[in-house]
């Protein structure tokens, strides 16, 4: 049942991010992020469940500390409306706080722990929408490329390696989000249009995966063999979504990574590009680890009757998002 106060706080959360994205001063950007923070805390809470309450409290403390650093970097200079004149140490503090806000490594310590205490809908919000405001602020403070490149490399490596030894699917998705955050930061260094495309496609793929996990009520990797023996109709869609999230052609998830790699090569960022590609191979390993439990079919099973058990809209949305790479390639060649 949808509660009215949830709708109110959801609208305030969207409003806060939109204020940050549309502002022309650091102070109003910070104000929008605070509105977003105050709105999402009640959304994380759940009655008669201590784990979301604990996660929301941790999230509040971490975000408050990051907001304090942002506010300090703003007031450390009197030039609130002139981005280019902020001092060097204030830029470092501001970028560090923004990376902490979005959960990028090495400021990621809070992200997997909080994600592991939330439901799938809140995980989707934390992994996608909550990154818009800090990344928007980051676009105005890209004057320290060496520091940002270190964060990109650290996020990609930690997001890949730390996800290998996890059995909690929510933590696996959290480290996957950290890895994709490194890709998003690298794309925003090169082109805002590539970042918008990357973020949009990542959000569409991620909502497909969270929909499946929410529908099946899966949280641990040990549940997958038993769940998919019962719900066989989700097997192929589940497998294809993870391959798309890993960036394998011919799925749609390959397109933003391909454009990011082309931009990095054209800008001679060879080392960063190499680290991102290698870390993506590591993340693809634990994606396959999750999907191998659902991939095999018995000899007498056929795929065609399985799809009839699913609603038309989820099938159409998944197939459109997964297999529309050829459409984008055709459009790109025409333009």
Confidence (pLDDT) at 111? 93
Residue 294 has pLDDT above 70, yes or no: no
Residue-wise pLDDT tens digits, 191-229: 889 999 899 999 988 988 898 888 888 888 888 877 766
Better-scored residue on pLDDT, 326 or 255: 255
Better-scored residue on pLDDT, 143 or 230: 143
pLDDT band for position 314 (50/70/90)?
A: low
Q: Specify the residue for token string 């049942």.
A: 1
How many whole angstroms from its chain centre is CA 289?
20
Residue 2 has pLDDT above 70, yes or no: no
Task: Please provide residue 122's backbone torsions phi and psi, each rounded to the nearest 5 degrees.
Answer: -70, -30
Residue-wise pLDDT tens digits, 36-57: 999 999 888 877 777 888 888 9
Confidence (pLDDT) at 99? 94
How is 80-137 classified by DSSP, letter by letter? TT-GGGS-HHHHHHHHHHHHHHHT-TTS-TTHHHHHTTS-HHHHHHHHTGGGHHHHHH
pLDDT band for position 167 (50/70/90)?
A: confident
Residue 74 has pLDDT above 60, yes or no: yes
Residue-wise pLDDT tens digits, 97-137: 999 999 998 899 899 999 998 999 999 999 999 999 999 99
- Across the range 52-75, mean pLDDT stands at 90
Q: Cβ–Cβ contacts within 10 Å for residue 213, how many? A: 22
pLDDT band for position 299 (50/70/90)?
A: very low
Overall pTM surpassing 0.85 (yes/no): yes
Residue 263 has pLDDT above 60, yes or no: yes
Confidence (pLDDT) at 308? 47
Residue 327 has pLDDT above 90, yes or no: no
pLDDT band for position 305 (50/70/90)?
A: very low
Task: Please provide residue 220's backbone torsions phi and psi, each rounded to the nearest 5 degrees.
Answer: -125, 150
Host H or E run for residue 152? helix 145-161
Q: Where do the domains of the chain lie?
A: 4-334
Better-scored residue on pLDDT, 204 or 326: 204
The answer to whether 255 touches 328, Cβ cutoff 8 Å, is yes
Cα distance between residue 91 and residue 263, in whole Å: 25
What's the mean pLDDT when you consider all of the chain? Answer: 83
Host H or E run for residue 61? helix 50-75
Token pair of 140 as six digits: 């105005």
Q: Specify the residue for token string 């509040």.
A: 60
Tell me which residue of 217, 203, 208, 286 sits closest to 240, measured CA to CA.
208
The answer to whether 29 touches 94, Cβ cutoff 8 Å, is no
How is 253-309 classified by DSSP, letter by letter? THHHHHHHHHHHHHTT-HHHHHHHHHHHHHHHHHHHHHHTTT----TT--HHHHHTT
Confidence (pLDDT) at 323? 62
Residue 80 has pLDDT above 90, yes or no: no
Cα distance between residue 64 and residue 58, in whole Å: 10
């Amino acid at each position: 049942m949808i509660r009215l106060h949830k709708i109110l706080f959801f609208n305030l959360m969207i409003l806060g991010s939109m204020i940050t994205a549309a502002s022309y001063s650091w102070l109003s950007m910070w104000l929008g992020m605070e509105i977003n923070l105050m709105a999402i805390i009640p959304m994380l809470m759940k009655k008669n469940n201590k784990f979301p309450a604990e996660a929301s409290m941790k999230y509040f403390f971490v975000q408050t500390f990051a907001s304090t650093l942002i506010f300090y970097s703003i007031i450390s200079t009197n030039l609130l409306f002139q981005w280019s004149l902020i001092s060097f140490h204030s830029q470092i503090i501001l970028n560090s706080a923004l990376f902490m806000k979005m959960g990028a490594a090495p400021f990621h310590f809070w992200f997997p722990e909080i994600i592991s205490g939330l439901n799938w809908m809140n995980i989707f919000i934390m992994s996608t929408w909550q990154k818009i405001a800090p990344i928007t602020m980051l676009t105005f403070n890209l004057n320290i490329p060496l520091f940002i490149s270190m964060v990109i490399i650290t996020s990609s490596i930690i997001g890949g390696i730390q996800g290998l030894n996890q059995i909690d699917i929510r933590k696996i998705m959290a480290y996957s989000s950290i890895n994709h955050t490194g890709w998003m930061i690298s794309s925003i260094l090169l082109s805002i249009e590539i970042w918008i495309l990357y973020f949009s496609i990542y959000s569409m793929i991620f909502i497909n995966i969270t929909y499946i996990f929410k529908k099946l009520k899966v949280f641990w990797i040990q549940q997958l063999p038993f769940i998919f023996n019962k719900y066989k109709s989700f097997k192929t869609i589940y497998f294809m979504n993870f391959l798309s999230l890993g960036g394998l052609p011919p799925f749609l998830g390959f397109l933003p990574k391909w454009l990011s790699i082309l931009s990095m090569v054209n800008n001679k960022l060879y080392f960063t590009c190499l680290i991102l590609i290698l870390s993506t191979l590591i993340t693809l390993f634990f994606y396959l680890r999750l999907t191998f439990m659902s991939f095999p079919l018995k000899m007498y099973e056929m795929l065609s009757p399985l799809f009839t058990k699913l609603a038309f809209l989820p099938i159409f949305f998944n197939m459109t998002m997964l297999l529309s790479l050829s459409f984008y390639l055709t459009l790109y060649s025409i333009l």
